[in-house]
């Protein structure tokens, strides 16, 4: 493409020159040799021959055909270059996006309590796009323009090496100028992408909290917050545009400054007869030829700094270490057969702020234990440690006498089914929400699981039965229905260990009854850890553990704890009242 770009027009000029008589015809064939002059002369000879033999009109027709052919080739190659670049550009972006997604899914939960969801979304979308447009553009320029610049430089060296050296020195100084702009552009650009991340975070939060925003008449407040962030984004972006747009005019101006200094310097050489005037003229011409690629170079250099800011943000995610690691020879498969043991477990989210201290619990297979205690006592944290959502700081947890760190995460987590207070559902069919992540499940098994979870009836009442799409986060279902779907999901997996974290506390009494029934069925013959808000639901548990501020303060059966007349007794009394 570059070659055709350069040669198309110059190649036609000699034809026209001879045709219209501005260059004398060459009628004798020149001696052929490998220098420019003899090649040009040979060209002139053949053109003259054609005109002599076939007349001007036919020659012109040839020229027209040649013209069409050359431009066809030029555009064909320019299309081909884009054609082959398209898979490269989109492929790089696709790979980055895939890598980011995999990394985000792989990172532990603790990472996401530190980061804004919207900012991560911005990195995934607009930062990746920025990399596409600026960096890949730069690569294109890097391939295309150096040919031109190198050609011009060679020409300049041939004319006057001394002067070329002088010019290069001047160019380095101007390069420094442009480099400084690029550097500050990179900083602003990182800042702007951060603002964009905040914007998307706010948008995401607002959309999911619309009900509350409207209910609390907080529309204006939220809009103001958005406006403020929107304005900061704009302000930073103005600066970016100013800096970016400066690159091209600045490089042209500096180019002229270089030429002026050059003229002044070279005129000295001419007066001293160290250089001819024609030589200077040719030199300047070469210098001017190099200008346009140099300009697109400095422009690309400015934009790449914008792209680099995005690369930094993307890399920051990719380089985040995951502190929840699997051992090299981790156990890939295990059937739970004996017991779960928490031994001297200590844990804190933030250093020196213990959330759990000295926890010792043993759960035999088939037993149910219940955790009770005020909110913030550390109950959810305690069960989150079992599937290794977080790693404990001190002590160990064993399953069948094997430290849970020795299992692969998949083996460990496939032993348990988790039902939490917030029913996490996805905008998909009921069927896919129940089978979630499992493949080739027969419909009968799904229906059976739904029946156990007391969900089958309402599913059949829905518009399209199991194929009904339930909306964002299951928004088209009631709280109780959502909860029963999550239970069906846990039932279908048939895990030996069940973890129920306040699975019924978000429900009204009627749906709670249905869900409680469902849970009772599910817990039969299973090992279960139940966190319950309503104490009536856990009276039959084999052991009840009462927690306060991360410590176990009482433990035993319902009757035994009532007899002790302590914290549990008070809780029960309070609830019956
Ligand atoms: N991701 C987190 N980062 C920091 N602190 C947390 C996090 N999650 C919970 N906490 C703190 O840990 C304590 C116990 O929380 P949690 O286990 O959820 O209590 P419970 O389930 O008993 O209500 C609380 O004081 C809470 O503020
Ligand atoms: Mg909790």
| Among 259, 288, 318, residue at a domain's last position | 318
- Rounded distance from Cα 409 to ligand 1 centre (Å): 23
- Rounded distance from Cα 448 to ligand 2 centre (Å): 30
Residue nearest to atom 1 of ligand 1 (CA): 113
pLDDT at 497: 93
Give the ligand with the smallest distance to the CA of 546.
1
- Rounded distance from Cα 379 to ligand 2 centre (Å): 6
User: Average pLDDT of 358-387?
Assistant: 92
Residue nearest to atom 9 of ligand 1 (CA): 381
Residue 420 lies in a domain: yes
Residue 171 lies in a domain: yes
Structure token digits, residue 520 = 């009772």
- C-alpha span between 198 and 203 (Å, rounded): 9
Q: Worst-scoring range by mean pLDDT, 184-198, 309-323, 510-524, 528-542?
A: 510-524
Q: Residues 458, 553: one domain?
A: yes
pLDDT at 361: 94
Q: Worst-scoring range by mean pLDDT, 16-20, 90-94, 513-517?
A: 16-20
User: Average pLDDT of 504-530?
Assistant: 78
Residue nearest to atom 3 of ligand 1 (CA): 349
Residue 167 lies in a domain: yes
| Among 318, 335, 355, residue at a domain's last position | 318
Ligand 1 atom nearest residue 378's Cα: 17
Q: Residues 174, 232: one domain?
A: yes
Residue nearest to atom 18 of ligand 1 (CA): 380
pLDDT at 538: 84
Flag whether pLDDT at 15 surpasses 80: no
Flag whether pLDDT at 379 surpasses 70: yes
Q: Residues 47, 141: one domain?
A: no
Average pLDDT over the chain reads 85
Q: Which domain holds residue 490?
A: 367-385+416-576
Residue 545 lies in a domain: yes
- C-alpha span between 216 and 237 (Å, rounded): 33
Q: CB neighbours of 401 closer than 8 A, spacing ≥ 6?
A: 338, 339, 341
Residue nearest to atom 6 of ligand 1 (CA): 349
Q: What's the CATH code of the domain at 254?
A: 1.20.1560.10
Query: Reduced to 3 states, what is the DSSP secondary structure of residue 280?
Result: helix
Share of the chain above pLDDT 90, in %: 25
Residue 495 lies in a domain: yes
Residue 398 lies in a domain: no
Look-up of token digits 């958005």? 226
Helix (H) or strand (E) holding 281: helix 277-318
pLDDT at 577: 66
Residue 137: HSE in the Cβ half-sphere, 13 Å Cα cutoff: 19
**pLDDT per residue as tens digits for the range 213-267:** 888 888 889 899 999 999 999 999 998 888 888 877 887 788 788 888 888 888 8
For residue 315, name the pLDDT band (cuts at 50, 70, 90): very high
Flag whether pLDDT at 10 surpasses 70: no
User: Average pLDDT of 527-548?
Assistant: 88
Among 262, 266, 247, 255, residue whose Cα is nearest residue 288 = 255
Ligand 1 atom nearest residue 550's Cα: 14
By the CB criterion, residues less than 5 angstroms from ion ligand 2 are: 380
Q: Residues 268, 165: one domain?
A: yes
DSSP 354-407: -SEEEEEEEEETT-EEEEE-STTSSHHHHHHTTTTSS--SEEEEEETTEEGGGB
Residue nearest to atom 12 of ligand 1 (CA): 355
Residue nearest to atom 17 of ligand 1 (CA): 378
- Rounded distance from Cα 509 to ligand 1 centre (Å): 27
- C-alpha span between 562 and 560 (Å, rounded): 5
Share of the chain above pLDDT 70, in %: 96
- C-alpha span between 237 and 38 (Å, rounded): 56
Pocket test for ligand 1, best of 107, 345, 376, 500 (most atoms within 8 A of CB): 376
**pLDDT per residue as tens digits for the range 414-443:** 999 888 888 888 888 999 999 988 888 899
- Rounded distance from Cα 170 to ligand 1 centre (Å): 63
Helix locations, 436-534, DSSP H: 443-452, 456-461, 479-493, 509-523
Highest mean pLDDT, choosing among 13-17, 201-205, 227-231, 291-295: 227-231
Residue nearest to atom 10 of ligand 1 (CA): 349
For residue 5, name the pLDDT band (cuts at 50, 70, 90): low
Among 279, 284, 253, 242, residue whose Cα is nearest residue 177 = 253
Give the ligand with the smallest distance to the CA of 551.
1
Ligand 1 atom nearest residue 110's Cα: 1
Flag whether pLDDT at 384 surpasses 90: yes
- Confirm if 480 and 437 have CB atoms less than 8 A apart: no
Q: Worst-scoring range by mean pLDDT, 56-70, 378-392, 556-570?
A: 56-70
| Among 260, 290, 318, residue at a domain's last position | 318
Residue 312 lies in a domain: yes
Q: Using a 6 Å CB cutoff, which residues line ligand 1?
A: 113, 349-350, 355, 375-381
- Rounded distance from Cα 105 to ligand 1 centre (Å): 22
- C-alpha span between 100 and 106 (Å, rounded): 10
Pocket test for ligand 1, best of 380, 421, 503, 506 (most atoms within 8 A of CB): 380
Q: Residues 71, 134: one domain?
A: no
- Rounded distance from Cα 404 to ligand 1 centre (Å): 22
- Rounded distance from Cα 528 to ligand 1 centre (Å): 21
**pLDDT per residue as tens digits for the range 265-275:** 888 888 888 77
Ligand 1 atom nearest residue 381's Cα: 17
Phi, psi of 265 (to 5 degrees): -70, -45
User: Average pLDDT of 180-194?
Assistant: 85
pLDDT at 215: 87
Q: Residues 429, 298: one domain?
A: no
Q: What does pTM read for this prediction? A: 0.73
- C-alpha span between 58 and 327 (Å, rounded): 81
Residue 439 lies in a domain: yes
Look-up of token digits 């980061």? 115
Ligand 1 atom nearest residue 113's Cα: 1
Q: Residues 182, 309: one domain?
A: yes
- Rounded distance from Cα 348 to ligand 1 centre (Å): 9
pLDDT at 35: 66
- Confirm if 103 and 55 have CB atoms less than 8 A apart: no
- Confirm if 559 and 528 have CB atoms less than 8 A apart: no
Q: What's the CATH code of the domain at 562?
A: 3.40.50.300
Pocket test for ligand 1, best of 110, 324, 349 (most atoms within 8 A of CB): 349
For residue 345, name the pLDDT band (cuts at 50, 70, 90): very high
Q: Residues 283, 373: one domain?
A: no
- Confirm if 295 and 251 have CB atoms less than 8 A apart: yes
For residue 506, name the pLDDT band (cuts at 50, 70, 90): low
Give the ligand with the smallest distance to the CA of 502.
2
**Domains identified in the chain, total number:** 3
pLDDT at 522: 78
- Confirm if 362 and 339 have CB atoms less than 8 A apart: yes
**pLDDT per residue as tens digits for the range 34-56:** 666 677 778 788 888 888 888 87
Helix axes 277-318, 36-106, angle to 10 degrees: 10
Pocket test for ligand 1, best of 381, 506, 530, 546 (most atoms within 8 A of CB): 381
**pLDDT per residue as tens digits for the range 82-126:** 898 889 888 988 999 999 999 998 898 888 888 888 888 888 888
- Rounded distance from Cα 376 to ligand 1 centre (Å): 6
Q: Please state, in angstroms and as integers, the Cα–Cα distance from residue 427 to each residue in 102, 158, 432, 435, following that order.
A: 20, 69, 10, 14
Q: Residues 371, 497: one domain?
A: yes
pLDDT at 201: 85
pLDDT at 369: 93
- Confirm if 498 and 522 have CB atoms less than 8 A apart: yes
Q: Residues 312, 372: one domain?
A: no
- Rounded distance from Cα 503 to ligand 2 centre (Å): 10
For residue 187, name the pLDDT band (cuts at 50, 70, 90): confident
Q: Residues 53, 138: one domain?
A: no
Q: Residues 61, 178: one domain?
A: no
- Rounded distance from Cα 76 to ligand 1 centre (Å): 64
Flag whether pLDDT at 80 surpasses 70: yes
Give the ligand with the smallest distance to the CA of 374.
1
Ligand 1 atom nearest residue 531's Cα: 21
- Rounded distance from Cα 110 to ligand 2 centre (Å): 16
- Rounded distance from Cα 214 to ligand 1 centre (Å): 29
Flag whether pLDDT at 21 surpasses 70: yes
Q: Please state, in angstroms and as integers, the Cα–Cα distance from residue 525 to each residue in 400, 407, 492, following that order.
A: 17, 24, 15
Give the ligand with the smallest distance to the CA of 372.
1
């Amino acid at each position: 493409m570059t070659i055709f770009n350069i040669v198309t027009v110059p190649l036609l000029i000699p034809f026209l020159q001879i045709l219209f008589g501005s260059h004398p015809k060459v009628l004798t064939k020149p001696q052929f040799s490998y220098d420019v002059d003899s090649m040009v002369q040979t060209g002139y000879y053949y053109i003259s021959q054609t005109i002599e033999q076939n007349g001007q009109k036919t020659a012109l027709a040839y020229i027209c055909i040649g013209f069409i052919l050359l431009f066809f080739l030029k555009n064909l190659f320019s299309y081909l270059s884009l054609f082959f670049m398209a898979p490269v550009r989109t492929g790089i972006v696709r790979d980055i996006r895939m890598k980011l997604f995999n990394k985000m899914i792989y990172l532990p939960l603790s990472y996401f309590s530190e980061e804004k969801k919207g900012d991560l979304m911005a990195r995934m979308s607009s930062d990746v796009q920025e990399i596409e447009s600026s960096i890949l553009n730069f690569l294109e320029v890097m391939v295309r323009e150096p040919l031109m610049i190198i050609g011009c430089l060679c020409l300049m060296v041939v004319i006057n090496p001394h002067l070329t050296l002088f010019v290069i020195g001047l160019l380095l100084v101007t390069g420094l100028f442009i480099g400084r702009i690029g550097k500050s552009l990179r900083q602003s650009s990182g800042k702007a992408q951060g603002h964009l991340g905040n914007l998307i975070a706010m948008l995401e939060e607002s959309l999911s909290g619309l009900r509350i925003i409207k209910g609390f008449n907080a529309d204006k407040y939220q809009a103001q917050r958005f406006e403020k962030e929107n304005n900061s984004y704009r302000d930073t972006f103005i600066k970016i545009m100013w800096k970016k747009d400066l690159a091209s005019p600045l490089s042209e101006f500096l180019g002229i400054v270089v030429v002026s200094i050059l003229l002044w310097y070279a005129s000295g050489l001419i007066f001293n007869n160290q250089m001819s005037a024609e030589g200077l003229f040719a030199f300047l011409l070469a210098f001017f030829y190099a200008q346009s690629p140099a300009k697109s170079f400095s422009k690309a250099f400015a934009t790449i700094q914008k792209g680099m800011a995005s690369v930094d943000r993307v890399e920051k995610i990719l380089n985040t270490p995951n502190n929840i690691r699997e051992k090299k020879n981790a156990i890939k498969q295990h059937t739970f057969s004996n017991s779960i043991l928490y031994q001297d477990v200590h844990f804190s989210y933030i250093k020196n702020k213990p959330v759990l201290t000295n926890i010792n619990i043993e759960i035999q297979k088939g037993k149910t234990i219940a955790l009770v205690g005020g909110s913030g006592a550390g109950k959810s944290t305690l069960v989150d440690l079992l599937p290794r959502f977080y790693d404990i700081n001190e002590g160990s947890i064993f399953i069948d006498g094997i430290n849970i760190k020795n299992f692969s995460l998949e083996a460990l987590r496939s032993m348990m089914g988790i039902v939490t207070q917030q029913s996490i559902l996805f905008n998909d069919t009921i069927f896919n929400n129940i089978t979630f992540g499992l493949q080739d499940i027969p419909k009968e098994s799904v229906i059976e699981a739904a029946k156990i979870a007391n969900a089958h009836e309402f599913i059949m009442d829905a518009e399209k039965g199991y194929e009904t799409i339930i909306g964002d986060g299951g928004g088209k279902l009631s709280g109780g229905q959502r909860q029963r779907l999550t239970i069906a999901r846990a039932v279908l997996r048939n895990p030996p260990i069940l973890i129920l974290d306040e699975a019924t506390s978000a429900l009204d009494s009627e749906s709670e009854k249905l869900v409680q029934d469902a849970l009772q069925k599910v817990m039969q013959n299973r090992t279960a850890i139940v966190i319950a808000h309503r104490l009536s639901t856990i009276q039959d548990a084999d052991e009840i553990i009462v927690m306060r501020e991360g410590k176990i303060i009482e433990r035993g059966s319902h009757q035994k704890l009532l007899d002790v007349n302590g914290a549990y007794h008070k809780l029960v009394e309070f609830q019956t009242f």
